[in-house]
Amino acid sequence: MGGTMPGPAVFRGLAGVLLAVALVGLLAAGSSCTSGGTTGGERSGPPPGQAGVPSRGGMGFIDLPRPMTRGQVSLEEALAERRCRREFSPKEVALAHLGQLLWAGSGAPSTAGTPGAQGDATTGATHTAPSAGAIYPLALYVVAGHVERLDPGVYQYDAGAHALRRVLAGDVREELAAAALRQDWVRKAPLSVVIAADYPRIRERYGERGVRYALIEAGCVAQNIALQATALGLGTVVVGAFADEKVAGVLGAGEQPLLIIPVGP
Ligand SMILES: Cc1cc2nc3c(=O)[nH]c(=O)nc-3n(C[C@H](O)[C@H](O)[C@H](O)COP(=O)(O)O)c2cc1C
């Protein structure tokens, strides 16, 4: 770490997110996920009945390229090579790579056409990351500044459709970095993925313990993204030091931001 990086004490309360991953147990109870196809291109209007997404009239819905389930790098190689990286080249990130990262984070295998599409035997649902009771309380936001075929803006990932919904137009990387204690890698990365939790939704099922489950799930999602980025030759860093309300304000998010993951070549 360097530059304006906050000291280790800042991370004390945040380190539990990924430490908790090791404690993940089997939690099964009952809801299911949706699935849908992908083609590419922009559709007009939001999908019907999508809760928790700020409405900003006239914003687009963008299909992502179908994710791949075979790559050049083995899981073991990605594990061995993963490191937090805080410097990025100014080159743009391919839209297919962004889609791949989001799918790896917590996408629906059905959108890649894999056998996993039939779902978990107990819950009937499946994503690339586990979720207590298959509730999926996490939202994945993308703060895009320099992504191929994507206007700068804030987007929310729709896992069932493997698509992005634009919630805010304009490049807000500068504001995001300011909300993250001016960590320069947040400003310079072509994009950041922000993991945010819908606590009321998970509390409804699990009470206060639901908060723990959401944090554990966020660790799973973050590691999936980091490993996929490594396999694609992209750099990432997990950023937990930021002002929660400011980050939520930048995103226009109703959920609680948990982690910012800057990504770049
Ligand atoms: C919960 C959590 C919060 C973190 N927050 C930050 C952060 O705000 N800024 C940063 O530069 N790195 C942050 N890191 C990254 C750690 O500094 C990094 O993982 C650690 O130095 C180990 O290096 P490695 O990831 O390359 O193995 C965070 C990591 C975790 C797990």
> Does position 126 have pLDDT exceeding 70, yes or no?
yes
Higher pLDDT, 55 or 239: 239
What domains appear along the chain, each with residue ranges and CATH number? 15-21+59-65+72-113+135-264 (3.40.109.10)
- Average pLDDT, stretch 18-26? 35
> Can you tell me the distance from the alpha carbon of 40 to that of 109, in angstroms, rounded to the nearest whole number?
17
End-to-end CA distance of the chain: 18
Asked if residue 150 lies in contact with residue 131, where contact means CB atoms within 8 angstroms, the answer is no
- In this prediction, residue 60 carries a pLDDT of 84
- Put simply, whether the predicted model's pTM sits higher than 0.85 gets the answer no
| Separation between Cα atoms, residue 107 and residue 101, nearest integer Å | 9
pLDDT at 38: 28
What is the number of the ligand 1 atom nearest to the C-alpha of 84?
26
Alpha carbon nearest to ligand 1 atom 22, residue: 84
What is the Å distance from ligand 1's center to 101 Cα? 19
**Ligand 1 atom nearest 181 alpha carbon:** 8
Check if the beta carbon of residue 198 is closer than 8 Å to that of residue 137: yes
**Where does the pLDDT of residue 125 fall: very low under 50, low under 70, confident under 90, or very high at 90 and above?**
low
